Structure 1
């Protein structure tokens, strides 16, 4: 299983949110590159980065931050937030990013998913964020009546290979991942499933690993010290 330490960005600075609420934004580090270097030293090979400004503005807002991490560290960088067009995807592909994550557009503009997967293949992943099992979009500010597994099956049919699933009610809470929903999703589709939201400690990592998840995103747990990143990477080798 791959461990994805997370860096969420608002106005160029690393932050964490509580249950996706932008009013709870808390800066968790001073320097993005310094934070990324710490992840490298802990043995991480990937970093999960989110353009929170972009998710609200519906455009690339912090792209320079992500491309700098890709250019100045050995980390493979996956980026989500504000990616709305083929030009956005192409920009990241040409500037050292390893994978992009399409979020709101998966529900609102499925044709973009279909076209981009056909052209870029595994470079394109889809992020499905849900509350009480129903998909939320636009930086989690809009709700829908679409079940998360239904959307995942649509994405699978379009050729999507990687899905990042976030239970919004768990995000930033340090209350453990939603194993029930994650396992249901993992069984429902053939896509690689990355768990996001609620990861707290090494026991959570082991549970996700033992349930054959593809990856686990760890944010607040690293910054608050409840999870040792190096230990998490080691148990997943």
Structure 2
């Protein structure tokens, strides 16, 4: 299982939110480049990055940092936040991003997802961000009203092979992932599922691995020191 330690960027700083609430934003590391280097030293080979400025306002302001991480860290960069057009995709791939995560635009413009998959194939992932089983958009501020399982099935029908599933109620809460919703998702979606939100201790990684998931994102638990990244990587196995 792939382990993806996370860096969320806002105003070029490494920050975390609690349950996606921008009012709770706080800085958790001084240097994003050094943080990415520490991830690599712990054995990670992927990194999940989110441009929170892009997610909230549709304007990405952290491209220079993403580019440096992609070029210097040795990590494959998965990036989300404000990717809403083919021009946006071209821009982020020029930064050296390995996989782009389409979030809100997958709800508002499914034709964009279809075109993106046709052009870039498995380098496209879709974020399925849910609260109480409903898909949220615009930096988790707006409720689409869509059931997350039906939405996932529609994305698979368009050829999307990777989904980043986040249960907002667990994000940043160190309360454990939403295992039940992940299990339901596995029943209807046959592609690669990355679990995001709530991972807090090594036992969470062990359970996600046992479920047969493709990947797991580690965010606040790393910065809070409740999980050893190197141990999580060892539990995940070969990182390729």
TM-score bin (small chain): over 0.9
Paired with 2:201 and 2:187, the residues of 1 have a C-alpha distance of 24
Which ranges of 4 or more aligned residues in structure 1 deviate by more than 2 Å? none
* Superposition deviation, residue 59 in structure 1: 2.8
Paired with 2:83 and 2:64, the residues of 1 have a C-alpha distance of 14
Instruction: Tell me if the contact between 1:61 and 1:82 (Cα under 8 Å) persists in the aligned partners.
Output: no
Matched, 1:176 2:185: no
Paired with 1:93 and 1:13, the residues of 2 have a C-alpha distance of 21
- Partner residue of 2:137? 137
Instruction: Tell me if the contact between 2:66 and 2:95 (Cα under 8 Å) persists in the aligned partners.
Output: no
Instruction: Tell me if the contact between 1:186 and 1:192 (Cα under 8 Å) persists in the aligned partners.
Output: no
Matched, 1:193 2:181: no
* Superposition deviation, residue 130 in structure 1: 0.4
* Superposition deviation, residue 109 in structure 1: 0.6
- Partner residue of 2:82? 82
- Partner residue of 1:111? 111
Instruction: Tell me if the contact between 1:20 and 1:168 (Cα under 8 Å) persists in the aligned partners.
Output: yes
- Partner residue of 1:231? 231
- Partner residue of 1:47? 47
Q: Deviations over 1:118-177 (max 9, x none)?
A: 011011100010000000000000012110011100100000000000000000000000
Paired with 1:151 and 1:63, the residues of 2 have a C-alpha distance of 29
Q: Which runs of 5+ in 2 are unaligned?
A: none
Instruction: Tell me if the contact between 2:16 and 2:26 (Cα under 8 Å) persists in the aligned partners.
Output: yes
Paired with 1:174 and 1:84, the residues of 2 have a C-alpha distance of 30
- Partner residue of 2:163? 163
Secondary structure in structure 2 of the residue aligned to 1:28 = strand
Instruction: Tell me if the contact between 1:15 and 1:29 (Cα under 8 Å) persists in the aligned partners.
Output: yes
Matched, 1:149 2:157: no
* Corresponding pairs, count: 237
Instruction: Tell me if the contact between 1:167 and 1:197 (Cα under 8 Å) persists in the aligned partners.
Output: yes
Paired with 1:120 and 1:144, the residues of 2 have a C-alpha distance of 26
Paired with 1:199 and 1:43, the residues of 2 have a C-alpha distance of 18
Paired with 1:129 and 1:236, the residues of 2 have a C-alpha distance of 23
Root-mean-square deviation over aligned CA pairs = 0.7
TM-score (norm 1): 0.99
Q: Deviations over 1:79-114 (max 9, x none)?
A: 000111101111222221100000001101101100
